[in-house]
Chains A and B, each alone.
Chain A
Amino acid sequence: MRELTYNEAALEAIAEEMRRDPKIFYMSTDALPPLLKEFGEQRVKATPITEAAFTGIGIGAAGCGFRPIVDWRQVTFCFVAMDQIVNQAAKIHYMFGGQVTFPMLFRASVGGGGLVAAQHSQSPYSMFMNVAGLKMFLPSTPYDMKGLIKTAIRDNNPVISFESSRLMGRRGPVPDEDYTIPLGQADVKREGSDVTVVALAWLVHEALAAAEELAKEGISVEIVDPRTLVPLDKDTIRSSVRKTGRLVIADEAGPTAGFSAEVAAVVTEDAATFARLKAPVKRVCALQVPIPYSPVLENAVFPDRNRIIAGIREVLDAKQPAAA
């Protein structure tokens, strides 16, 4: 099968959808050259650097029958548009009694690894998960990226595509034929029996490397990639944990009220899954700090395969939660 990079897979999905549906148009600060070349200025708009304004413009156009793609680029740039995202996009379908739909795709890159410091490195998806009315996903492979973007563009709700900065150039197989991946469907990236690792984006790859390493010792690691954050595929996560009895959650975001906290709750509040736990749940997350610049500091903040391995060893060594 041919290979594309993560970023190319996103652009290919968008271009294919734009060819299919003339109601789709694209807005970003600086028009993306390949899209601009094919679709022209009418459908690929370079905006002023005003995320608040062009996010709202996207909402209005969506309410009038268009299907805008609003590219915030770095997720940190969309914070100036929070009123439009939280008060408007997320709420208006509900607040107006469902009388009209607001189909929109928002794009935002997340994560670290670029040594660009705190205002250009962040993984704030849990802030958005906390807002009712937004769907969102964070793919780990070019294949998942293309299939999820296509589904999101066809969805009749605001959907955020969080895209890992570290994975932009990473290659992977992408079939020629048209396909989609449903939102809310996790993917078991590796089957195993001793411990479940729920990981996102770049950390899926780190977890796979960790699993290879531990396999040499006879430790069998199952890796679940939720892919979609909202709606979250609770069933796949729970059934994996019921099988292995142990859970490590790996996330490039900090732990506090984060994605990892949500997954831990999903597992522990389900009686059947809780009953199968052989060890406390372990979170392997970024430190709860703004992302620093110096390579030494940035590396100190983010989890990696070694910390995932340490986390797995911790849950394997742990005793079952005491009944006494």
Chain B
Amino acid sequence: MALSTNLSPDKQREMLRQMLTIRRFEERASADYLAGKIYGVVHCYIGEEAVAVGVCTALGGNDRIISTHRGHGHCIAKGADLNRMMAELYGRQTGYCKGKGGSMHIADFGIGMLGANGIVAGGISIVTGAGLAAQMEGKGGVAVSFFGDGASNAGPFHECLNIAAAWKLPMIYVCENNMYAAQTAAAQTHALPDVAARAAGYGIPGIVVDGNDVFAVHQAASGAVDRARSGGGPTLIECKTYRWRAHTERKGQPDPRDQAEVEAWKRKDPIALLERQLRDQGELDDPGLRAIEGGVMSALEAAVAFAEASPFPLPEQATDDVFAA
């Protein structure tokens, strides 16, 4: 278990608040999806919250990230507005994408969140372009690519690690290894058990970290951010974690995973672990936890109310924004 010596108690409680926000947001998104209020497809990040929060806590406001189809956690950890997120899931005009994107395409360029992306590995090169932009801007910014174990087998991962290493781009590549690419076990499709080992092929550091320990993730990310900011180039961080839910929230979807395996990972709950760590340090008690939970729930209820009160787009808005002015 990693120690959290370089983070203030307030910061640590903020990390807990963010992780709880991700979980409660997705529990609600899932329920509302099954109730028919949210459409299409929803991919939940529950169980992996420590990765997004641990990494984003190591970033500054000018740093940029890109996400995946499983993107709510990254949005929340980077500071996205819950109202506009929920409104987007509800398909409303007030959503981040004016109802054009939905769960898989939430972006907020204003806070450096370059978008969830519906194509596995689709965002890796785009965010590497953000790394190039940061290098050309010369203001010490960095860029983070979040992607899964599935994307690590796709061409863009390898092409971009090579370019980022060759050009010494200020990049952090964060593989969220939840052991399954949709329904297929990584053990069936990966030649090596550790994605991080591939970093050696590009001459960059590759770090394996317990992805359910938010302090361990934060520590690894902080080191990688320092290295990137100082011109040292990219780092690959592999966070070993697990998604508690099936690939998507669609009802009746096959989930071939061993239920005992799922339960075993639930006992390694990243939120419970952080709570324990905070209590052990004397930084959290029951009233404190209740206050955090209460704040999270009221923000969530406000977001749902905002979404429900928001108008749907007008049919004629389907032709808006195909091209920019």
Query: Could you list which residues of chain A lie within 8 angstroms of chain B, going by C-beta atoms?
Result: 25, 42, 47-48, 50, 52-66, 68, 83-84, 87-88, 92-103, 132-133, 135, 156-157
Contacts and interface: CB of A to CB of B under 8 A. Distances in A.
Given A53-B159, A93-B323, A98-B324, A61 B95 contact: no
A69 to B, nearest CB: 13
A96 B320 contact: no
A93 B321 contact: yes
A94 B126 contact: no
Given A60-B114, A63-B129, A93-B323, 15 more contacts: A48-B163, A48-B166, A56-B124, A56-B126, A57-B128, A57-B160, A59-B129, A63-B130, A64-B134, A66-B133, A87-B122, A95-B100, A97-B96, A97-B98, A135-B323
Contacts of B110: 99
A48 B115 contact: no
A61 B131 CA distance: 8
A103 to B, nearest CB: 8
Interface in B84-120: 95-101, 105, 107-110, 114-115, 117-119
B325 A62 contact: no
A68 B95 CA distance: 29
Contacts, number: 140
Contacts of A58: 129
B109 A100 contact: yes
Contacts of A61: 129-130, 132-133, 136
Contacts of B40: none
A50 B133 contact: no
A96 to B, nearest CB: 4
B155 interface: yes
Nearest to B102: A95
Contacts of B101: 95-97
B156 A53 contact: yes
Interface of B: 64, 66, 95-101, 105, 107-110, 114-115, 117-119, 122, 124-134, 136-137, 143, 155-156, 159-160, 162-163, 166, 320-325
A84 B129 contact: no
Contacts of A42: 136
Contacts of B137: 64
A269 B153 CA distance: 48
Contact of B163 (A53, A94, A101, A157): A53
Contact of A60 (B96, B97, B125, B321): B125
A97 B97 contact: yes
A241 to B, nearest CB: 27
B166 A97 contact: no
A103 B323 CA distance: 10
A313 B259 CA distance: 75
A64 B155 CA distance: 23
A312 to B, nearest CB: 36
Contacts of A135: 323
A157 B160 CA distance: 24
A248 B107 CA distance: 46
Nearest to A25: B136
Nearest to A87: B119
B109 A63 contact: yes
A62 B324 CA distance: 13
A56 B133 CA distance: 12
Contacts of B162: 48, 50
A96 B107 contact: yes
Contacts of B100: 94-97
A79 to B, nearest CB: 13
A48 B66 CA distance: 23
A157 B324 contact: yes
29 contacts: A47-B163, A48-B166, A50-B159, A50-B163, A52-B155, A53-B159, A53-B163, A56-B129, A56-B160, A57-B126, A57-B128, A60-B127, A60-B128, A60-B143, A61-B132, A64-B134, A64-B137, A83-B119, A84-B125, A88-B119, A94-B100, A95-B97, A96-B105, A97-B101, A98-B98, A98-B320, A99-B96, A99-B108, A157-B323
Contacts of A100: 107, 109
B97 A63 contact: no
B129 A57 contact: yes
Contacts of A59: 125-126, 129
Nearest to A53: B159
A173 to B, nearest CB: 32
B320 A60 contact: no
A92 B163 contact: no
Contacts of A87: 118-119, 122
B107 A64 contact: no
A211 B197 CA distance: 66
A149 to B, nearest CB: 18
Contacts of B96: 96-97, 99
Contact of A88 (B98, B126, B159, B163): B126
Nearest to B160: A53
Contacts of B117: 88
A24 B105 CA distance: 27
